[in-house]
Structure 1
């Protein structure tokens, strides 16, 4: 549950150097934005980080302020100590101007190596070894190559707009530039979208990074665990409309000390909870919309052993802080192989430990994908005997009903045919008198004229 923010943090509370504070006051920076509150303290602590942020001055200031603070604290300011890489030439200039304004009192200089500046001027700026270099990967790579330039004193590298970098296929240029950074350094990667290429950049150029601004933090920046080769993995093909029956039969045949059951929705957990309780099994459920207090209470009931079954919906397995459970059941098969790996990682080792998936007709493609991606494919398990028996009874009942329907249908058809035959014999032959309305007796001749009269004349 989101916590309400009490107040806005002020820059003076960050214990920044007087020179940097003077620069912030010059440009009327007094309070931190929400993004800056998360980023600046983390950067000042020396963490590598992957940060989700949209373009704008708030994002730029979130790395410029701690960068200038680090430069100002250096005893030896000779050489470039901050390297910022951005794909946009206009943004490169904007960063350059903000560094100049914020770092004016600290006498920190900056140069922009971008696509719009003269090459000779850029080479001169790079060779002068100003404290902060901001560059577009293309021109910076070319100038570094021409000058055989090496960064020996850089303490902070910022890769800005990493998603755009990958979209523009600038990874090779980034690699060539970062090869020239020989010093140990802290790395910040900013992106508005987290795709596979950005993940690869993060993996390659950061060490134990923290994630800021992303909802799915657990396991996001780490490799998913491998599935234990000794773990028992299986799946059961579930007959149509017999999923709960199959689950209950499997639980009865394979009891466990503690079991986690994953479903695809809160509605699914609610339904299973009622079924388990009806069968006198102790269970509790958690889902993504549960309050922090209720989540903690229900989770503790399971970890303390008060309940045997934990039903989970809308929560990744990587977020569950469980030591080991005896059994994991995928009531709904995950469509992501990595989620399956994290679920399997919850299970302890031993003969009694297992992960089982219930595969309905619509889950066939998901289980096939799991079989292709996992080193050890799950094995198909036979249907529980109770399910086989109920399936047999259902088929017999259906067959019996079908026979009864056929008899009834034949009976109805025979009755209908006989009736038609009998009715055909009893139909009276209409008389010409009835064609005129069925009147009898003396009818005035003038009233028998017209179409009816004409027909009578013809036949007479």
Structure 2
């Protein structure tokens, strides 16, 4: 796409021509239209002029259209001086014909120049959080006309523990404004930063993570939530017994790994149950086909691994089973949201010994704790059979031990007696139990030498 294809003012177009900007990059094609529409956004981007242009171009366009250019309109926060100065230079070049002024407030710039730029309220301020906050606090300065805030390299900001400085700077921005956050990657701290400073943001470049910026849905109060404590080494047995008790359900079963889905798939097929599986290693074509088989009703059970529930576009499921309990309460909420509302619908978790801490965390987080469900009768019967077998084995073992003891009391004892060696006489040992050697006889090595030579 060429810049002529998007609506930009003649002044900004002239600035782009001066620096040989003719075509939008892939990132700019995604970002600039969204920014011009006024969206807050979290944007995935690597450092470089393409990223800088994606927010500078629409911001300068907004500034050039303003009738009153008094006051700072664009505030950019970036973690290092080099990036701040690069943004400053690009703003100056692109905004030259629009007479847009910019200043960089960073660790390498003269302090008096920084104060003068802040007080004169140039249209664009770019700064490192530490120096910018120091200058603003020293001048007791407030931003009253900002229309756009850009938090650049949010992941680096978080790594440098700059969240408090960012917060204190943004407290000084009193005007309503659009917020753009750029990051190479997203972690919990970046998500928190985005939720705190944006309104209904869109994600650009992170589309592979559905639900990343939205609050997880609340669990329906009418939904039946339960869990079954699974006896040791009886998880598949418990699952199959539970499925037999709920034969009509259209069911999704979540496991922790592809290996788990493969194992369950073989078990279900062996019992003539129609099932299919989704996991991270499937091609898009196979994934779509298997998903369609489930949504069309061709199969009754969908086994899922390595796929967040937020990615599953379903609304006709009567039961969700956590074969492995999720350790993230939000993931549990998204799974519960797949189930149709009503008391006939349910989400059930199979809780083994190692899952108990996870189910306890869920209970604390959800507010509405799942209820413990009774163990299926079939599992109880197998447990009883297992106990009986153990008792038989233990009795058989005792008899074997008794017979072994009896054999030791008979012939075995004679043989041992016959094989016993004669005990040595202490009389012949120097310094033995029956007294010392005669006085004229030396003991030890010296006595032995004398005997040899006598």
Q: TM-score, structure 1 length as denominator?
A: 0.81
- Which string of whole-angstrom CA distances, capped at 9 and with x for unpartnered residues, describes residues 215-237 of structure 1? 65212112222222332211111
**Superposed displacement of residue 307, structure 1:** 1.9
Matched residues in 2 for 1:257 and 1:241: separation?
25
After superposition, residues 50-449 of structure 1 pair within 5 angstroms as: 50-74=42-66, 76-144=68-136, 149-214=141-206, 217-412=209-404, 414-415=406-407, 418-421=410-413, 423=415
1:404 CA displacement: 2.5
Take 1:112 and 1:424, find their aligned partners in 2: how far apart are those partners? 97
Structure 2 CA distance, aligned partners of 1:384 and 1:40? 58
Deviations 1:169-200 (A, max 9, x none): 54444344334434432210123453444323
- Residues 414-456 of structure 1, C-alpha deviations (whole Å, 9 max, x = no match): 44654434656988x9xxxxxxxxxxxxxxxxxxxxxxxxxxx
Instruction: Provide the secondary structure at the position in 2 that maps to 1:220.
Output: coil
User: Contact 1:83–1:133 at 8 Å: present in 2 too?
Assistant: yes
Distance 2:228 2:302 in 1: 20
Q: CA 1:97–1:393 in structure 2 vs 1: closer, same or farther (change >3 Å)?
A: same
For residue 410 of structure 1, report the CA deviation from its aligned partner: 3.8
CA deviations 1:339-381 (Å, max 9, x no partner) are 1111112222222211111111111211121122220112222
Counterpart-to-counterpart distance in 2, 1:109 and 1:74: 14
User: How far apart in 2 are the matches of 1:195 and 1:296?
Assistant: 29
Cα distance in 1 for partners of 2:245, 2:202 equals 44
- TM-score for both structures, normalised by structure 2: 0.82
Rounded to whole Å, the distance in 2 between the matches of 1:81 and 1:297 is: 50
Question: Tell me, what secondary structure is at the counterpart of 2:104?
Answer: strand
RMSD: 3.1
Distance 1:51 1:234 in 2: 39
Kindly indicate whether the alpha-carbon contact (under 8 Å) linking 1:87 and 1:161 is maintained by their aligned counterparts in 2. Answer: yes
8 Å CA contact 1:256, 1:327 repeated in 2: no
Shift of residue 316, structure 1, vs aligned partner: 0.8
- Matches of 1:26 and 1:120, distance apart in 2: 31
Cα distance, 1:403–1:129 mapped onto 2, change above 3 Å: same
Deviations 1:13-53 (A, max 9, x none): 65655654554454455665554454334333432111233
Secondary structure of the residue that 1:91 maps to in structure 2? helix
Whole-angstrom CA distance in 2 between matches of 1:389 and 1:17: 79
Helix, strand or coil at the partner of 1:239: coil
3-state DSSP class of the match of 1:404? Answer: helix
Residues 211 and 217 in structure 1, CA contact (< 8 A), matched pair in contact too: no
Indicate how the Cα distance of structure 1 residues 243 and 111 shifts in structure 2: closer, same or farther if over 3 A, else same. Answer: same
Q: Cα 1:423–1:173, aligned 2, differ >3 Å: closer, same or farther?
A: closer
Deviations 1:124-173 (A, max 9, x none): 32343333211233443454456565544433210113334445554444
Give the C-alpha shift of residue 387 in structure 1: 0.2
Partner SS for 2:228: strand
> How big is the shift at 1:58?
3.9
Give the distance between the partners of 2:170 and 2:340, measured in 1 at CA: 42
